[in-house]
Structure 1
Amino acid sequence: MSSTTANADADAAVEVTEEAAEQALSLLDGEGLDTSEAGLRLFVQQGGCAGLSYGMRFDHEPEPDDTVTEHEGLRIFVDPASMRYIEGSVLDFEGGLQGAGFHVENPNIVSECGCGESFRT
């Protein structure tokens, strides 16, 4: 898995599997976004029965204080507040009969809700 960073804080940043990168790049392309500038923003927000949940969206460019990494051609943007909760995580894409989607494997989690949609660190 190739990875480059745009700032020094990315040492413990989020990793991305090849499958997740391919899926996200396909979605970015479908939105007509320039993958050399645009990327996937991964963030943590208050919510869910365990207290925190993940959010993802496409952004045209990173914010000045974001940690920016690149994996398999996909740029990932993470703001400093979210990085505290998800550093060292792996973004994966799971497909199957129960539905397909992105999944964050977070080593910082101390508990998750029963449905797996929210967590606590």
Structure 2
Amino acid sequence: MSTDTVDTDGGGSDPAIEVTTDAAAEALSLLEGEGLDTDEAGLRLFVQQGGCAGLSYGMRFDTKPEDDDLVVEHHGLRVFVDPASQNYIGGSTLDYEHGLQAAGFEVENPNIVSECGCGESFRT
């Protein structure tokens, strides 16, 4: 299978995930800080088993997508999503929150039917 790339900067819509300007800027800064080529490397967003509600998000930097990944581009950031995770995060938005007590990436997922009390895991 070949990697599918969706470029959303041109006004198209993306079936898997949206990325805010703040999230893209923060991720690109971190990628560059790691010495990774932002033309090839990207942020991998995935869903894994875990947490009290059953599922949790994972994120890491990858140097390139896997062959069966959906690759979306927002504001210059490449995001890699594996096929299994696409089922759980379709329609989600990745944002970066700046707060007094904490800052970090946040996934706003319309598919969630319940979350645990701490907000770290979810169920669809």
TM-score by length of 1: 0.92
> Which amino acid is 1:51 matched to?
G
Give SS of 1:56's match. strand
| 1:32 to 1:59, Cα distance in 2 relative to 1, 3 A | same
Q: 2:119 aligns with which of 81, 103, 116?
A: 116
Q: How many residues align?
A: 115
The residue aligned with 2:108 is 105
In structure 1, the partner of 2:92 is 89
Aligned to 2:73: 70
What TM-score do you get using the length of structure 2 for normalisation? 0.90
Gaps of at least 5 residues in structure 2 are 1-5
Counting helix residues as a fraction of each chain, which structure ranks higher? 1
Gaps (5+ residues) in structure 1?
A: none
Letter in 2 for 1:45: Q
Whether the 8 Å contact between 2:72 and 2:79 is mirrored in structure 1 is yes
Match of residue 14 from structure 1: 17
Structure 1 residue 13 displacement after superposition? 1.1
Percent identity, aligned pairs only, is 77
Aligned partner of 2:57 among 50, 54, 58: 54
